[in-house]
Amino acid sequence: PPDVEALGRATWSFLHATAAYYPTRPTTHQRANMLNLIHALPVLYPCTHCAADFGDKLKEHPPDVSSRERLSKWFCERHNEVNEKLGKEMFDCAKVDERWKDGPPD
């Protein structure tokens, strides 16, 4: 079976970075593809219980793919739900760009 921790770190990196560089004003095509990417996770993510829990959260909190800022916040909140479940520290969602886009301020 996959290493759930390494898989998780790699996947969050991909998802947060993809959200960080998502357009401010996405086209219909870009929005539809982002929705497909998100909805594929509960079907395909190779950690079965992670995938099932994420699918439940997706139903409670439908993804907001309307802008880069809203999508980044949405992923941050979903990641924080997993952090909470695993007893990890909450991440300050005001800092997503610093972490995943801009890097630390000088």
> Of the candidates 3, 5, 56, 102, which one interacts with ligand FAD according to CB under 6 A?
5
Using the rule CB under 6 A, give the single segment among 7-15, 19-27, 29-37, 61-69 that binds ligand FAD. 7-15
Whether the CB-CB separation of 75 and 35 falls below 8 Å is answered with no
Q: Residue 93 has what DSSP assignment?
A: G
Restricting to residues 18-37, which ones interact with ligand FAD according to CB under 6 A? none
Tell me how far apart the alpha carbons of residues 99 and 36 are, in angstroms, rounded to a whole number.
Answer: 25
Tell me how far apart the alpha carbons of residues 9 and 7 are, in angstroms, rounded to a whole number.
Answer: 6
Asked whether position 12 contacts ligand FAD by CB under 6 A, the answer is: yes
Tell me how far apart the alpha carbons of residues 71 and 34 are, in angstroms, rounded to a whole number.
Answer: 9
Per DSSP, helices labelled H in 1-106 are 4-20, 28-44, 48-60, 68-85, 96-97
Query: Minimum Å distance from CB 57 to ligand FAD?
Result: 9
Give the per-residue contact string, 40-79, with ligand FAD (x = CB under 6 A; - = no): -x-------xx--xx---------------------x--x
Write out the residues near ligand FAD by the rule CB under 6 A.
4-5, 8-9, 11-12, 16, 41, 49-50, 53-54, 76, 79-80, 82-83, 86, 88, 91, 96, 99
